[in-house]
Amino acid sequence: MTETAQEQAAPATSRRIEPFVASVWPWVHDLEERNPEAVFFGGGVPPTDVIPVDRLRHGSERAWEDGADILLYGEVRGYRPLRELIAARMLTRGANVDPADILITNGAQQGIDLAARVFVDPGDIVLTEAPTFMDALRVFKSHEAETVGVPVDEFGLQVDVLETILDQLPKRPKFLYTVPTYQNPMGVTMSAARRRALVDLSQERGFVIVEDDPYGDLSFDGAPVPTLKSLDPDVVYLGTFSKILAPGLRVGWVASSPRLRESFFNVKEGTDIHNERIMTRAVFHASQGFLDDHIAATREIYRRRRDAMLAGLAREMPVGVHWTTPNGGFFLWVTLPEGYDTDAMLSDATDRGIIYLPSSWFYPDRSWNRSMRLNFSSQPEERITEAMRRLAETIAAV
């Protein structure tokens, strides 16, 4: 095929941007435009009426009181009181972290990118769950890592299968990226026995664990689960205020270790110098004396929405459809019988008034297309109930 004049004139972009260009989002946004009435289950955010706007405004006003000094460069690691608040919160999940090992980032997403920059050379192996958070896959691929998926079941990453995979790999992986608690996309939580086995295996075989934990505080049934970081101080832990306050704040953190912290600080400084100083103060002032109560209130809202979705699925789904039962977080995972293709079905589902995320995008090799991720946090119960009826209608029609 001959190149058009326009293609010839296009600047040569890098190989590394390709994973960012290939994305589910443009497709999903087109579908949203095609049917603006469709109920959108694709997101992973707190609903706007749950975001504590007044409290954040109060935090922001307090932040400005600190004067012009904070408008200069400074604090690569981030505002110290915020790092102390984070360390205290992490202790409630069993991890004893020195605030000096904490680096404030632009969300957990930047933590994922920094981890890749710290550990990955082109051609290195990065292990992920299969399925996993799709935007982490894009980052690892953009760093030219070879991503290898480890299957997940209702008790989280299958550590015995990981062991077999490790035996077959041509070289030692640099790290394993996991979302062990209320996983994105399946909503499942790694069992205590598997957590122990995973940490032991990482020490035995010499790979780092990167624990991404955006949903860990949002438990519905009983006390929050202890983190992997609580079992091993060498775990690199990624946290965020995106799901417990608001994603647009872009405030998250990396909790590393005395051996790794300088690498993370240097890479952060070389990337964007440091986070916005006003916003990190605003998040601190908003959170202090407020965040625990806020999280407790939001858990109740999300728990009711999860219950509505589970009840709707139980009532509407035909035989042969299965789903996970999350104990927290934002998502559940629905799997259809053999012969279905959730990529192919999405267009029809949109016309019938429901948009989900098809499973193939969550796999390093895009190999599984019979499941879908449904977000329950962002819709009121009545909409969820009605949407489950429409989903059943779509499945029956296909």
Ligand X SMILES: Cc1ncc(COP(=O)(O)O)c(C=O)c1O
The number of helices, as runs of H, and strands, as runs of E, in the chain is: 14, 14
Give Cβ neighbours of residue 356 (< 8 Å, ≥ 6 apart): 41, 42, 334, 342, 346, 349, 372, 373, 374, 391
If the CB atoms of residues 63 and 283 are measured against ligand X, the closer one turns out to be 283
Contact 217, 224 (CB under 8 A): yes
Binding residue for ligand X, selected from 28, 108, 201, 391, defined by CB under 6 A: 108
If the CB atoms of residues 25 and 64 are measured against ligand X, the closer one turns out to be 25
Residue among 253, 164, 165 nearest 211 (CA): 253
Using the rule CB under 6 A, is 131 a contact of ligand X?
Answer: no
Contact 62, 285 (CB under 8 A): yes
Using the rule CB under 6 A, is 247 a contact of ligand X?
Answer: yes
If the CB atoms of residues 332 and 395 are measured against ligand X, the closer one turns out to be 332
If the CB atoms of residues 115 and 179 are measured against ligand X, the closer one turns out to be 179
Using the rule CB under 6 A, is 316 a contact of ligand X?
Answer: no
Q: CB nearest ligand X: which residue?
A: 107
If the CB atoms of residues 251 and 345 are measured against ligand X, the closer one turns out to be 251
Give me 268's structure tokens: 């952060």
Using the rule CB under 6 A, is 214 a contact of ligand X?
Answer: yes
The DSSP letter of residue 100 is G
Least separation in angstroms between residue 108's CB and ligand X is: 4
If the CB atoms of residues 243 and 261 are measured against ligand X, the closer one turns out to be 243
Least separation in angstroms between residue 68's CB and ligand X is: 29
Least separation in angstroms between residue 290's CB and ligand X is: 19
Residue among 238, 240, 241 nearest 286 (CA): 241
Binding residue for ligand X, selected from 158, 240, 256, 394, defined by CB under 6 A: 240
3-state helix, strand, coil in the chain (%, to 5): 45, 15, 40
- Coil, strand or helix: which one is 308? helix
If the CB atoms of residues 179 and 384 are measured against ligand X, the closer one turns out to be 179
Least separation in angstroms between residue 329's CB and ligand X is: 9
Distance in angstroms (rounded) separating the CA atoms of residues 209 and 238: 11
If the CB atoms of residues 242 and 379 are measured against ligand X, the closer one turns out to be 242
Judged by CB under 6 A, which stretch of 79-87, 92-100, 107-115, 224-232 contacts ligand X?
A: 107-115
If the CB atoms of residues 312 and 364 are measured against ligand X, the closer one turns out to be 364
User: Mask: binding to ligand X, 155-194, rule CB under 6 A, as x and -?
Assistant: ------------------------x----x----------
Judged by CB under 6 A, which stretch of 11-19, 53-61, 79-87, 101-109 contacts ligand X?
A: 101-109
Nearest 5 degrees, angle CA 223-CA 229-CA 231?
85
Residue among 333, 336, 377, 323 nearest 356 (CA): 333
Using the rule CB under 6 A, is 326 a contact of ligand X?
Answer: no
Contact 176, 207 (CB under 8 A): yes
Task: Print the SS3 string covering 228-266.
Answer: HHHCCCCCEEEEECCCCCCHHHCCEEEECCCCCHHHHHH
> Cis (ω within 30 of 0) for the bond into 19?
no
Contact 372, 297 (CB under 8 A): no
Using the rule CB under 6 A, is 252 a contact of ligand X?
Answer: yes
Give me 344's structure tokens: 């192919």
Give me 82's structure tokens: 């915020």
Nearest 5 degrees, angle CA 66-CA 67-CA 73?
95
Distance in angstroms (rounded) separating the CA atoms of residues 252 and 275: 10
Using the rule CB under 6 A, is 329 a contact of ligand X?
Answer: no
Judged by CB under 6 A, which stretch of 85-93, 239-247, 369-377, 380-388 contacts ligand X?
A: 239-247
> Cis (ω within 30 of 0) for the bond into 122?
no
Judged by CB under 6 A, which stretch of 81-89, 102-110, 296-304, 311-319 contacts ligand X?
A: 102-110
Binding residue for ligand X, selected from 212, 217, 232, 316, defined by CB under 6 A: 212
Judged by CB under 6 A, which stretch of 66-74, 103-111, 296-304, 313-321 contacts ligand X?
A: 103-111
Least separation in angstroms between residue 111's CB and ligand X is: 8
Least separation in angstroms between residue 396's CB and ligand X is: 31
The interface with ligand X within residues 22-61 (CB under 6 A) comprises 44
Distance in angstroms (rounded) separating the CA atoms of residues 171 and 191: 28
Where do contacts with ligand X occur on this chain (CB under 6 A)? 44, 107-109, 133, 179, 184, 212, 214, 240, 242, 247, 252
